[in-house]
Structure formats: C-alpha cells, structure tokens
C-alpha cells in the first residue's frame, strides 16, 4: 500500500494514517526538498529556485503537520514517530538556514534593481528570509557553525521532552471517591464530568483529574478545603522534584539545558542574551523597551491588585472565618465574593452557553463582521468522533477550512491553540486554500447533559477562532508571509484578543447564548450582572500575566548560568515585586510553563500584553463606529487579516486605526485607572 503521507491531500486522510508511515515519508520528503534545492541552485532566481523549493517544502510541512497534531491530541503511539520526525525536520531546517549558496541567492535578488518593483509580499518574503538566515547562523563557520546546528537539534528534542513530562505528570495524578459528600459545592456539570471520568476507568463514584475543567471546578467550587489543597498542590508541582509524583517527570534538568543552549545560540550569533535574539523578529525595538513596558504596567496594576487582594482577605475573614487565606482558597473565595457582590457565577451562566449555540453564534458574529459564511462538512474524516470540520465561504465559494476539536480527554495536551494544516499559496493548479486546526479543552457532554461552557471558555473559543481567521482569511499567496507566517510574534495575538471583545457586547451575546433546555435568551438581569462583573479582580489577573512575562523575559536576559535553584530564585524575585496572592512552597509553576519551554513564547510571553494594547485600541474604533459596522469590519479585514506577514505589523495597525497605538483602551477595558503612564508599544 502506498504511503498517504507522501502525497498528502489538502485535508489529511486521518483514517488512513498510521505511526509506521511517518519515518519513511518524512525521510523521502526531506530528500525531495534537498534535491529540489540543488536543482534550483544550478540556475538561481525566484522562479527557478524559490518557487519550486516552496512547493517541495509545502509537501513536507503538510505531511509533518498531521503527525505533530496527532501527537498533541492523541499522544500514545504517535509520540515516538513524532519525535523521530521532529529530529529529521529540525535537522533539515537547521541545515537549510545555514546554506550559504541559498543565502547568496536571496542577497542577489535584493541587489537587483528590479527587486524594488516586485509585489510587496514577494519582496517581504525575501527580506524576512535574509533575516532568518542570519538568525540561523549562516554567517558562522567551523566549530561554531556545527555547534549552532547541534544546539538547534537538541533544543527541539528538549522542548518535546518538556511537553511530554507535563502531559505525563498531568495524567499520572487522580483522586477517587465514592463518597458524594466529599465533593460538596461542585456544580452539576462538574459532578457529571467526574462521574464520567470514573466510568472511563471502570470505577464507581467520581474521579478528579488535573485536566483543566476538573482542576478549575475543584479550585473554584469545592467546599472541601482539604481536597482543594491536595488538588492544588498536585497541579502546581507537576513535572518537578516535589509533590505527589516528585521526581518522576521532573523538568528541572530539561529547563537548565534549554536555557543554557538558548544562551549559547545567542552568544554564537554575537548577541548579549537570548532575549536580544528573540526580539530580532518582533515589533519591540530592544530589551530595555520591553522591560519598561512591563514594569510601568506592573506599577499601575499592582496598586489596584493590592486593593483587590485586601478586599478578598477581608471578605474571607469576615464571612468564612479564614484568617489565613491560602493559595488553594483564592479561586474559591473569589467566586464567593463575586457572587455576593454581583449575585452571579460562571456556573449560573453555564446553562445559557451550550457549546452548539456558542459555536453557531460565533459563526454568526464573524459572518456579520467579515461577510463570510461557515458550513459544516460531515463527510470529512477526522481523528476523533468529537471533531468537526467546517468550510469558510465567501459568495458561496470555499476560501478556507478548519477542524474544531473542542473537548478535553485523556492523552490530549491541555490548553487551547490554533495550528496550521495547509497554508494559502499559489500553486501550478491554482491557489491552495488555507486549513487550520482549532483545539480547546472544554468539558464534554456527560450523561444527559450537553457540553455547557463558562463565559471564560466562550472567550477562549473566540480567541482561538481569531487566530484561525488570521490564518484563513489571508489574501497573500506567498507561503512565507501568508496568514500568520512572517507576522511579528508580539503582534500575532492581536486578532485573537481582538475577537474576544464580542463576548462582552450585548448584541453579540444575544447571538451566542440561549438556555440549553428552554432556548430562552440570557435574561437582562443576568446580562447586566455579567457585564458589571467584567472587571472583577482584573488587576489581579493583570499582575499574574505580568509575573509570567517578567519571569520569562528576565530569565532569558540574564548572563548567569541558570540552575533549577536559580530559576526558582529569579521567579521568587519577580513574585516579590508584582505578585499579590500567596504562593505555595511546593509551587513549581516554571516546570509546567510550556509556553516558553515547549512553545514559541521564549522571551516573548510579554507579547500577550503588547498585542493586547493593539487589540484593545483596534476594538475601540468599533466602539466608536458600531460593533457590527460593515465599513469598519471590512477595514479590519483588508488592513489586518488579509495582509498576513506581508507588511510590518505597526504599519498595518496604523493603516487600520489612522494613527499609532495608544494604551488608553486597554486600561479602560481592564478597569485600571490610567493616570500618567509612560507606556506605548511603538
């Protein structure tokens, strides 16, 4: 039987893919890329070298994509073939990035006077290509060149190992009971999910896990303080040297090695730190500017966060006799205070946000904003029965597609993300349509209860769909700058955070909500309470994000070798400066910080706040002109979503907004007083 990965169609045939197919297919496709490159270098130029190389690399990317994806959503038997393929692919891209002949082709293209008259996307792809060559060590020679390549391969291995340890540590811990009284306070949805989890293990009673919905249900609602303590400590100590699985999946040495290798890569390129290397492909001009941005925002937010924390302590003491508020009490007490102050909870809202209604409403929102329609295609094969596939259409014509894998399950990586199946690009047969994966980890249907989302989960879905729109609505046909490709990393979160705003607009809420039993709309009283509570403890949330961002940036800025002990010390220092909530002694947050150790956010976690300035300011124009104003929606579509990485993010923002970004809207949306702030992302 032929190997389906060797000639992967636009939509991968998931029902035909097998782990044993991976290694031979990836090897052959890499060989094809290498042979194509050699042919292209014989008569160098855009048409002879770069166009056919893009075609060969697209085949490789589209074969590796489902392999990587299946490792994330199924793990198990896909882990070993994925890791073997990752090593091959990393070696290929590292070698390509150091190919001086290809580098010289790029240089010669820019030196030709005709280059200035090329289409903008093509010019930008060459300019970014030159930058990436330099960041890949093309200028290195001898031992330094070999060391850079070896480090790149090892870093890919370590990132995968970090993610595996977090997943395995998450799956390793459970808590089982047959005594319903021990779960007092848990809402019906959480109880149903816990019973379903137990049944999945052939157990009676209820099973609590460290998967997101289960963990958050306990921390927010359980009246059993000892259970909250156990679950919290198991969660915050995952993949570390402490906790219930101490040392079993320990990421300590993995972190040390990753940081050491990143620092060495920066040094080999003549840079002072990995943070400096990271910023070479971002909007932020230098490390000082990032730290100024984060520290200025932290000063303002911490003052407000301290007020919020004092209120929470006073409330817990007065109402519940909790004189010593512990880390496992914070979410629980906050939920109690929120209910007292606003008479509303996420659980009260859940019945009005059934998953199917939210999805339909989300599609209705983007249809109104960007004049597209979304249509499910049940004939497309997927990797799990829960997964759906949809086409995006404009004027009845398919322009993109996406898979939606919404629910948590065992062996599926936690969190939420968008990833690429296929990138829009010009081919000999016409334009290749962009296809995306959209992945979340919501509570699935249990028993007779459909999947009901918290409003927080609703915003998560909108966030990931915003990423998806950035990928799918692009009109750029050069792969290197199509969709999110080529977009500065500290601007890539802008469309996702931007779309979240509609989750708070009454006109949009009416489209995404209806009671799952009666189909009645969200009552005005509940809507008013929800909107009133929008900024509840928003400053505490902001300083938490700043804690992560400052830790990430400072740990990648230091010249000192970082041991696990020193990593903890630096995190403790950051916490002493910005944190207002108590932290458990066993807290090893860094051991599970996959964003920076297993994802693309190393020295870039600040991007969430940086991009939030852009997204809030962009949305403020809709606030001025109408949240469904067709002209404003079309302007955002043309200036931001369709342009991909073909132009600088700041230029695109200015084209849309008519000026450089301001922080005013972010502060207003967050409920934090502006006063005098020296913060601007530009």
Residue 8 confidence class, pLDDT cut points 50, 70, 90: very high
Percent of the chain with pLDDT over 70: 98
Give CA separation, 520 vs 136, 511, 525, in Å: 57, 12, 13
**Same domain, residue pair 161 and 56:** yes
Question: For the segment 290-331, what is each residue's pLDDT rounded down to a tens digit?
Answer: 999 999 999 989 999 999 999 999 999 999 999 999 999 999
Question: Does the pLDDT of residue 604 top 60, yes or no?
Answer: yes
Residue 353 corresponds to which tokens in the numbers above? 């946000």
Question: Does the pLDDT of residue 609 top 60, yes or no?
Answer: yes
Question: Does the pLDDT of residue 110 top 50, yes or no?
Answer: yes
**Same domain, residue pair 182 and 135:** no
H-type alpha helices, 556-646: 564-578, 594-597, 607-625, 630-636
* Domain end position, chosen among 510, 529, 548: 529
Q: Considering the candidates 256, 308, 457, 464, report the single residue annotated as catalytic.
A: 464
**Same domain, residue pair 83 and 197:** no
Contact by Cβ (8 Å): 11, 436? no
**Same domain, residue pair 87 and 207:** no
Residue 460 has a pLDDT of 98
Q: Is residue 584 part of a domain?
A: no
Helix axes 100-111, 22-42, angle to 10 degrees: 50
* Domain end position, chosen among 166, 184, 215: 166
What is the arithmetic mean of pLDDT over 17-39?
Answer: 98
**Same domain, residue pair 223 and 149:** no
**Same domain, residue pair 358 and 471:** yes
Question: For the segment 470-503, what is each residue's pLDDT rounded down to a tens digit?
Answer: 999 999 999 999 999 999 999 999 999 999 999 9
**Same domain, residue pair 363 and 509:** yes
* Domain end position, chosen among 212, 236, 260: 236
**Same domain, residue pair 136 and 230:** no
Q: Which run of H or E residues covers position 438?
A: strand 435-442
Q: Is residue 70 part of a domain?
A: yes
Residue 208 corresponds to which tokens in the numbers above? 């609590």
Q: Is residue 76 part of a domain?
A: yes
Q: Specify the 3-state DSSP secondary structure of 595.
A: helix
Q: Report the domain count for the chain.
A: 3
In angstroms, the CA 190 to CA 200 distance is 15
Partners of 401 in beta bridges: 391, 435
Q: Is residue 607 part of a domain?
A: no
What is the arithmetic mean of pLDDT over 406-419?
Answer: 94
Residues 6+ apart with CB under 8 A from 251: 162, 165, 166, 239, 240, 591, 592, 597
Residue 675 has a pLDDT of 39
Residue 660 has a pLDDT of 95
The pTM is what?
0.94
Helix axes 252-268, 142-172, angle to 10 degrees: 150
CB atoms within 10 A of CB 101: 12
What is the arithmetic mean of pLDDT over 506-520?
Answer: 97
What is the arithmetic mean of pLDDT over 562-581?
Answer: 98
Residue 387 has a pLDDT of 98
Residue 673 has a pLDDT of 62
Residue 669 has a pLDDT of 87
Residue 678 has a pLDDT of 38
DSSP at 523 = P
Q: Is residue 137 part of a domain?
A: yes
Q: Is residue 661 part of a domain?
A: no
Residues 6+ apart with CB under 8 A from 35: none
Partners of 115 in beta bridges: none
Q: Is 464 a catalytic residue?
A: yes
**Same domain, residue pair 72 and 196:** no
Helix axes 120-135, 100-111, angle to 10 degrees: 140
Residue 1 has a pLDDT of 66
Q: Specify the 3-state DSSP secondary structure of 374.
A: strand
Question: For the segment 612-621, what is each residue's pLDDT rounded down to a tens digit?
Answer: 999 999 999 9
Report CA dihedral (108, 109, 110, 112) to the nearest 10 degrees: 80
In angstroms, the CA 137 to CA 97 distance is 7
**Same domain, residue pair 83 and 189:** no
In angstroms, the CA 487 to CA 204 distance is 50
Q: Is residue 47 part of a domain?
A: yes
Question: For the segment 330-345, what is each residue's pLDDT rounded down to a tens digit?
Answer: 999 999 999 999 999 9
| DSSP state string for 22-43 | HHHHHHHHHHHHHHHHHHHHHS
**Same domain, residue pair 215 and 140:** no
Question: Does the pLDDT of residue 681 top 70, yes or no?
Answer: no
Residues 6+ apart with CB under 8 A from 388: 376, 382, 403, 404, 406
Give CA separation, 59 vs 30, 38, 62, 91, 177, in Å: 9, 17, 5, 17, 50
Question: For the segment 629-679, what is each residue's pLDDT rounded down to a tens digit?
Answer: 999 999 999 999 999 999 999 999 999 999 999 999 998 888 876 433 333
Q: Which run of H or E residues covers position 283?
A: none
Report which of 488, 491, 433, 442 is spatially closest to residue 466, judged by C-alpha positions: 491
**Same domain, residue pair 161 and 231:** no
What is the arithmetic mean of pLDDT over 428-440?
Answer: 97
Residue 619 corresponds to which tokens in the numbers above? 């949305």
Quote the mean pLDDT of the chain. Answer: 96
CATH of the domain at 490: 1.10.1370.40
In angstroms, the CA 105 to CA 128 distance is 14
Entry field: residues in the chain: 682
Q: Is residue 122 part of a domain?
A: yes
Quote the domain boundaries for residue 190: 173-236
């Amino acid at each position: 039987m032929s190997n389906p990965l060797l000639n992967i169609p636009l939509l991968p045939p998931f029902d035909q893919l097998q782990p044993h197919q991976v290694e031979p297919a990836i090897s052959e496709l890499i060989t094809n890329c290498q042979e194509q490159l050699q042919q292209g270098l014989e008569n160098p130029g855009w048409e002879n070298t770069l166009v056919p190389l893009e075609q060969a690399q697209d085949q490789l990317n589209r074969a590796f994509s489902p392999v990587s994806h299946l490792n994330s959503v199924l793990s198990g038997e896909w882990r070993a073939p994925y890791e073997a393929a990752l090593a091959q692919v990393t070696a290929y891209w590292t070698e390509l990035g150091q190919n001086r002949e290809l580098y010289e082709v790029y240089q010669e293209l820019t030196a030709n006077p005709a280059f200035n008259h090329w289409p903008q996307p093509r010019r930008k792809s060459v300019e970014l290509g030159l930058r990436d060559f330099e960041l890949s060590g093309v200028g290195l020679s001898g031992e330094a060149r070999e060391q850079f390549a070896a480090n790149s391969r090892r870093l890919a291995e370590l990132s995968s190992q970090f993610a595996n340890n977090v997943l395995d540590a998450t799956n390793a811990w459970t808590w089982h009971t047959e005594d319903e009284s021990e779960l007092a306070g848990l809402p019906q949805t959480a109880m149903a999910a816990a019973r379903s989890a137990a049944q999945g293990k052939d157990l009676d009673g209820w099973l609590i896990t460290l998967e997101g919905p289960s963990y958050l249900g306990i921390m927010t609602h359980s009246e059993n303080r000892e259970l909250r303590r156990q679950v919290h400590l198991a969660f915050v100590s995952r993949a570390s040297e402490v906790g219930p699985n101490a040392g079993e999946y320990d990421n300590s040495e993995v972190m040390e090695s990753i940081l050491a290798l990143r620092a060495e890569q920066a040094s080999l390129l003549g840079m002072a730190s990995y943070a400096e290397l990271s910023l070479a492909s971002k909007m932020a001009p230098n490390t000082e500017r990032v730290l100024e941005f984060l520290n200025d925002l932290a000063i303002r937010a911490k003052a407000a966060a301290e007020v919020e924390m004092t209120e929470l302590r006073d409330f817990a003491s007065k109402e519940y006799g909790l004189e010593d508020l512990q880390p496992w009490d914070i979410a629980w007490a906050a939920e109690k205070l929120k209910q007292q102050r606003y008479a509303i909870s996420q659980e009260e809202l859940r019945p009005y946000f059934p998953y199917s209604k939210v999805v339909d409403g989300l599609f209705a929102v983007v249809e109104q904003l960007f004049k597209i329609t979304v249509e499910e295609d049940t004939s497309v094969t997927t990797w799990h029965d829960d997964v759906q596939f949809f086409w995006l259409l404009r004027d009845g014509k398919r322009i993109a597609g996406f898979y939606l894998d919404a629910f948590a399950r065992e062996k599926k990586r936690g969190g939420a993300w968008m990833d690429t199946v296929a990138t829009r690009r010009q081919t000999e047969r016409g334009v290749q349509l962009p296809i995306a994966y959209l992945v979340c980890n919501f509570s699935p249907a249990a028993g007779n209860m459909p999947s009901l989302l918290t409003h927080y989960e609703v915003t998560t879905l909108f966030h990931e769909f915003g990423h998806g729109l950035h990928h799918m609505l692009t009109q750029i046909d050069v792969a290197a700058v199509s969709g999110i490709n080529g977009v500065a990393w500290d601007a890539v979160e802008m469309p996702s955070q931007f779309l979240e705003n509609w989750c708070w607009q009454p006109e949009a809420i009416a489209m995404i909500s209806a009671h799952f039993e009666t189909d009645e709309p969200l009552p005005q009283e509940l809507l008013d309470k929800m909107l009133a509570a929008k900024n509840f403890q928003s400053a505490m949330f902001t300083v938490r994000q700043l804690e992560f961002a400052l830790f990430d940036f400072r740990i990648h800025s230091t010249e000192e070798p970082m041991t696990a002990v020193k990593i903890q010390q630096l995190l403790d220092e950051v916490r002493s400066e910005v944190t207002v909530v108590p932290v458990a002694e066993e807290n090893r947050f860094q051991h599970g910080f996959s964003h920076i150790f297993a994802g693309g956010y190393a020295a870039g976690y600040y991007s969430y706040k940086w991009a939030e300035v852009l997204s809030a300011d962009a949305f403020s124009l809709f606030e001025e002109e109408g949240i469904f104003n067709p002209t404003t929606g079309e302007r955002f579509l043309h200036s931001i979503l369709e342009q991909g990485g073909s132009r600088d993010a700041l230029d695109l923002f200015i084209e849309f907004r008519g000026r450089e970004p301001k922080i005013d809207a972010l502060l207003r949306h967050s409920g934090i007083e502006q006063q005098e702030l020296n913060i601007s992302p530009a």
